[in-house]
């Protein structure tokens, strides 16, 4: 959900935008007037802006470290990825704290359906 990006922005006092082909999920609407988004016809890239060059360099270095880790580290050993997936599971309500495993919605023993909790106001 962009929390890693937000953390880098906060820590480096910079603004980071992911642009280019693949930066917007398929099916998401671009501009309302039908025009292409800025940089949409370019290769995937990050646009980093800040008040000082030092902050830009700091943010770029952190982005490079994340990319390097994602490329060089096997998926099962990538601690950042594990932490991100754990946080996402926590946000989605599918994390099991007792054994630190991620519980997928379809594996849940407890049914979490909106229809199970809906009560008719006329008949109860």
Q: Which domains does the chain have, with CATH numbers?
A: 3-92 (3.30.1370.10)
Task: Measure the CA dihedral 51/60/63/35, to 10°.
Answer: 70
Query: What's the pLDDT tens digit per position in 88-105?
Result: 888 777 777 665 555 556
Query: What's the pLDDT tens digit per position in 64-80?
Result: 988 888 787 777 777 77
For residue 19, give Cα distances in angstroms to 43, 59, 94: 8, 16, 30
Tokens read off for 76: 């099962």
């Amino acid at each position: 959900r962009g929390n890693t990006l937000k953390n880098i922005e906060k820590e480096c006092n910079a603004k980071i935008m992911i642009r280019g082909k693949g930066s917007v999920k398929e099916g998401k609407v671009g501009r309302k007037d039908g025009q292409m988004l800025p940089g949409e016809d370019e290769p995937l890239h990050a646009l980093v802006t800040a008040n000082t060059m030092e902050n830009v360099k700091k943010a770029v270095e952190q982005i490079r470290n994340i990319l390097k880790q994602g490329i060089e580290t096997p998926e099962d050993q990538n601690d950042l990825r594990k932490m991100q997936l754990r946080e996402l599971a926590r946000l989605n309500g599918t994390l099991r704290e007792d054994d630190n495993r991620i519980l997928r919605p379809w594996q849940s023993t407890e049914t979490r359906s909106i229809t199970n909790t809906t009560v008719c106001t006329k008949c109860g």
